[in-house]
Structure 1
Amino acid sequence: MRTAAEHVAFNSNSKPILVDIVGTGGDGQDTFNVSTASAIVAAGAGVCVAKHGNRSSSSQCGSADVLEALGANLNNVGPAHVERLVHSSRFVFLFAQRFHPSMKLLAGPRKELGVKTIFNVLGPLTNPACPQRMIVGVFSKAIGPMMAEALRLSGVERAWVVHGALGLDEIAPEGETYVWSLEADKITSFTITPASFSLPSHPLSDVRGGDREYNSGTMNRLLDNKLEPGTAVLDFVLMNAAALLHVAGKAETLPHGVELARESLRSGAGRLALDSYVAASQIA
């Protein structure tokens, strides 16, 4: 699928370390768009994010849906624009249906089925920008080692594959999250909890999402730094952004990543990353 996608080219000396944070979906939990929010917060903290995603096939609101509700013109950003946006905004969204034209034919049937399919697993492996570092959430613990090995074989240099408590394809706000870590061509496994980030636990029910209007409203409050400290959604995003910053090499530890993510929100840098991308998507 990636070789059949529209090719994203970088000048030989200008490709930075690119990161992506993406889930397979299909976990049935319908949480807030934490990977999208975490990607934007991480971009505000200084890493270059090329996020690959699509509309929801089983939940109310996917990454493409929430970004569109926030004003992005998804179809306007093509392969020729990625390099410029990576350097100017540090965040760019590669809409799967734009970069994989054949996926348009499958969008309707996938939505009608409303269940996970092989494309849930293939999606995270087919980012046309070929990020060197990734966090990939999986809906099943059994898939974790296989996904990590697939990332290794595809040339990803550093990655975490994560599977959270209650079947979540994200780092979970409560309980253990299983991690399969790829580094130096080797895969190791361990578990983390919110305490690993020096953050409290929150019930999964407190980070449920809604439709695109609800989730985009939450995203705006997050990026405007209007969520109260200790809010479940805020801590959920801080954890996942911190992990991405750690995998990217920006944060030495997970608590350090939390502080960098907090500063991205406090300073308005995360908001600027999103607004810059949205503005560029209108004229790309």
Structure 2
Amino acid sequence: MKDTLNYLFEGNTLTAAEAEAILTRIGEGQFSESEIASFLTVFRMRKVKGEEMAGFRQAMLNLCIPVDFSDFNTIDVVGTGGDGKNTFNISTLSCFIIAGAGYKVTKHGNYGLSSVSGSSNMFEHFGYQFTNDPEKLRREVDEIGICFFHAPLFHPAMKHVGPVRRALKVRTLFNIMGPLLNPSFPKNQLVGVSDLEIMKLYHEVFKSSDQNFMIVHSLDGYDEISLTSDAQVISSEDNKILAPADFGFDTYAQEELSGGESVEDAARIFKSILEGTGTPAQKHVGIANAALGIKCMCPEKSLTDCVAEATEALENKKALEVFTKLMTN
């Protein structure tokens, strides 16, 4: 670690292999908390490079508890957080809509960081039992269409980093790594990012993988399609700007996406949308993100057709049916 730190302090960057090697050793508990803190501080002082992030991602995936769903065509929809917008659980809602439309979803997430309610808060509130039992998870995907990976159960290496992150009390590279670390290695991924720097970084990581991907950033700062402004979307196919009208929807005010002041508030909003009593803004933002997820899985389909599939899944209560089955499984 001393050699690595001196190398980095001199302004050098790591290759993907070097980044993978050093983070593997951190994850195996080979270094002290002070050494880990010094290492993480480097990437507060300068931006992590794409090659470095690719190596860090590989290390974490090598160290995770993997779940082999390679015989399914799956998607994960997740945001980096950090946008400070405190929305309701839009990515999680879109996952149930996608599953309601007949696709397979392997959702990866954790407790809320920048909002009142993260995906784990939502699943836990409704009684979902977190597990890393591959047979139970496989049965959920096969029979219901969706399962949930509570990140701490799949990334034991984080136990060596967690105390350091809590002590530092600042964002570290691990705050933006989460969406890259789904332990089932989904073939498709829709990722929302909170700024254009992270978008560029993620693009460098994803373009060297074999995943179908879409990276989304709403230009007014949301880490998803918000319908409050235009959004930039980078995929394995192209790079474009999408306006709310491209989905067939109006432009909404930011306050219409609020998640409330508590997990209970966010859960009430979430359930009302599935039950068909949400506001137009709430319903449409879920549909828009679900449509983009379907488009990621099926690039040959038009966005209009994807919106139609997502709308049908929500309005005909197919998404609610999936939700009810999973929570009572």
Question: Deviation at 1:41?
Answer: 0.7
Runs of 4+ in 1 over 4 A off after TM superposition: 104-115
Identity %: 32
> CA 1:111 to 1:232, structure 2 compared with 1: closer, same or farther past 3 Å?
farther
Output the CA distance in 2 between the equivalents of 1:46 and 1:251: 17
What value does the CA root-mean-square deviation take over the aligned residues? 2.1
Residue matched to 2:150: 95
The residue type equivalent to 1:33 in the other structure is N
Q: Is the 8 A contact 1:165 1:176 kept in 2?
A: yes
Deviations 1:162-214 (A, max 9, x none): 1112211111212210111114xxxx311001111011110112101122111
Aligned length: 269
Deviations 1:142-179 (A, max 9, x none): 221320221232321x1110111221111121221011
Question: Deviation at 1:109?
Answer: 6.6
Alignment of 1:62-211 (within 5 A): 62-74=118-130, 76-103=131-158, 116-156=171-211, 158-183=212-237, 188-210=238-260, 211=262
Output the CA distance in 2 between the equivalents of 1:250 and 1:270: 22
> CA 1:260 to 1:111, structure 2 compared with 1: closer, same or farther past 3 Å?
farther
Q: Is the 8 A contact 1:251 1:260 kept in 2?
A: no
SS of 1:135's equivalent in the other structure is strand
Asked which structure has the greater CA Rg, the reply is: 2
Q: Is the 8 A contact 1:164 1:172 kept in 2?
A: yes
Output the CA distance in 2 between the equivalents of 1:148 and 1:81: 33
Q: Is the 8 A contact 2:63 2:157 kept in 1?
A: no
Pick one of 260, 268, 273 that aligns with 2:309. Answer: 260
Q: Is the 8 A contact 1:2 1:128 kept in 2?
A: yes
Question: Deviation at 1:141?
Answer: 0.7
Residue matched to 1:274: 323
> CA 1:227 to 1:251, structure 2 compared with 1: closer, same or farther past 3 Å?
farther
The residue type equivalent to 2:138 in the other structure is E
The residue type equivalent to 1:51 in the other structure is K
SS of 1:2's equivalent in the other structure is helix
SS of 1:180's equivalent in the other structure is strand
Question: Deviation at 1:273?
Answer: 1.3
Residue matched to 1:227: 278
Residue matched to 2:74: 18
The residue type equivalent to 1:181 in the other structure is S
SS of 1:55's equivalent in the other structure is coil
Question: Deviation at 1:113?
Answer: 6.6
Output the CA distance in 2 between the equivalents of 1:204 and 1:105: 38
Q: Is the 8 A contact 1:25 1:116 kept in 2?
A: no
Q: Is the 8 A contact 2:220 2:228 kept in 1?
A: no
Q: Is the 8 A contact 1:78 1:99 kept in 2?
A: no
Extract unaligned runs of 5+ from structure 2. 1-59
Residue matched to 1:7: 66
> CA 1:204 to 1:83, structure 2 compared with 1: closer, same or farther past 3 Å?
same
Output the CA distance in 1 between the equivalents of 2:153 and 2:146: 17
Question: Deviation at 1:98?
Answer: 1.0
Deviations 1:44-78 (A, max 9, x none): 0011000111111232110100111122112x343
The residue type equivalent to 1:215 in the other structure is A
Question: Deviation at 1:82?
Answer: 2.4
Q: Is the 8 A contact 2:196 2:217 kept in 1?
A: yes
Output the CA distance in 2 between the equivalents of 1:259 and 1:251: 15
Given the two structures, how large is their TM-score scaled by the length of structure 1? 0.88
Q: Is the 8 A contact 2:287 2:314 kept in 1?
A: no
Pick one of 212, 218, 221 that aligns with 2:263. Answer: 212
